Amino acid sequence: MDKIRALRYFKRVSELSSFSLAAEEFGVPPSSISRRVKDLEYELGVELVKRSTRNVATTELGSIYYESIVEVLKKLDEADELISQRYGEMEGKLRISATTAYGEKVLWPVLQQFRQQYPSIVLDVQYSDNPISFTKENFDIAIRAGHIPEERVVAKHLTSSSFKLIGKPDLVARLQQQFGRDILSVNDLEQCPTLQYRAPKGLLSWWVCDNEMWVEVNVQPVLTSNSGEALISSALAGDGLALYPAWWAQQYLATNELIEVPITTPISSLKSNQLDIFVLYPQAKYQIPKVKNCVDFIVANLKD
């Protein structure tokens, strides 16, 4: 039995809960996947997966075995890649996970430049605002905002951004007239139409720092969405005020399509005055030339 191949098959069956999906990924018949997993079970003397006509479920022992082999297979892949790239051309797939808005608007053009420099590298870029786990997800590099996810992960700071409260000029003028002042107060926001972003864990609150304590602003959103582009579109239509990182808001402020709302105290989407963006990668991955070169390229082009 090809033990390594059997382990790889079992790993993907466990992750996908399907022989057919795993077979499709590897480009082999489902029967080949099933046979390899059965051989592995026979060798170990335990049942790793429960099979039924509807689905495949990993057994308790199978789950324990899965957790044990994930890191082993990852180390093997890294070792193979390290040797092949040390003595060969920069090539192969590079998997990158990036926070959605920053990834699409800021990172993507940089990755296009990287591809022009290294055309033999295939980039697999996936956008997500969920926390990243390099031990469970097979990414080489990640771009995340605000926090460092786990041990043995290197984080290089790229940029810090303040937040901008923005709105369509005629809406801002109307609100100034409504409240009878050019500079709005935090309390005024409770009566303003607002657009609020829905993150994976819920709505992003708006915060203000009062005497060194962060206090949540009681806004009443007229529209919520997990799409930053949708909220910007609504802001451009004059539907409400929106809170965005400066790097995103700047393109609309520059054309005066949207303006910054004059307000007595700065508003933030975090209990902090700024949003920090990091490039992350596992310590061991940096030894692989394509990972190192990509990280260095990102830092060189995006670091403040």
pLDDT of 200-222, one tens digit each? 888 889 999 877 788 889 998 99
What was the pLDDT predicted at 151? 65
The per-residue pLDDT for range 65-77, each reduced to its tens digit, is 888 888 888 888 7
Give the range among 196-210, 228-242, 251-265 with minimum mean pLDDT.
196-210
CA–CA gap between residue 145 and residue 141 (Å, rounded): 14
What was the pLDDT predicted at 287? 75
**pLDDT band, residue 110 (cuts 50/70/90):** very high
Element (DSSP H or E) covering residue 73: helix 60-86
CA–CA gap between residue 297 and residue 301 (Å, rounded): 6
For all residues of the chain together, what is the average pLDDT? 88
Residues 6+ apart with CB under 8 A from 233: none
Give the range among 87-91, 115-119, 219-223 with minimum mean pLDDT.
87-91
Q: Which of 89, 72, 133, 127 is nearest to 105 (CA)?
A: 127
Q: Is the pLDDT of residue 85 over 60?
A: no
Q: Is the pLDDT of residue 130 over 60?
A: yes
CA–CA gap between residue 296 and residue 197 (Å, rounded): 32
Give the range among 14-23, 65-74, 84-93, 144-153 with minimum mean pLDDT.
84-93
CA–CA gap between residue 4 and residue 196 (Å, rounded): 48
Q: Is the pLDDT of residue 260 over 90?
A: yes
Q: What is the mean pLDDT of residues 168-180?
A: 96
Residue 220 near residue 231 (C-beta atoms within 8 A): no
The per-residue pLDDT for range 29-48, each reduced to its tens digit, is 888 888 888 888 888 888 98
CA angle 212, 269, 221 (to 5 degrees): 120
What was the pLDDT predicted at 96? 96
For residue 202, give both structure tokens. Answer: 């819920």
Domains of the chain: 3-70 (1.10.10.10), 92-160+276-302 (3.40.190.10), 161-275 (3.40.190.290)
> What does the chain come to in residues?
304
For residue 21, give both structure tokens. Answer: 């999906």
The per-residue pLDDT for range 151-171, each reduced to its tens digit, is 678 899 999 988 999 999 999
First to last CA, the chain: 53
What was the pLDDT predicted at 89? 57
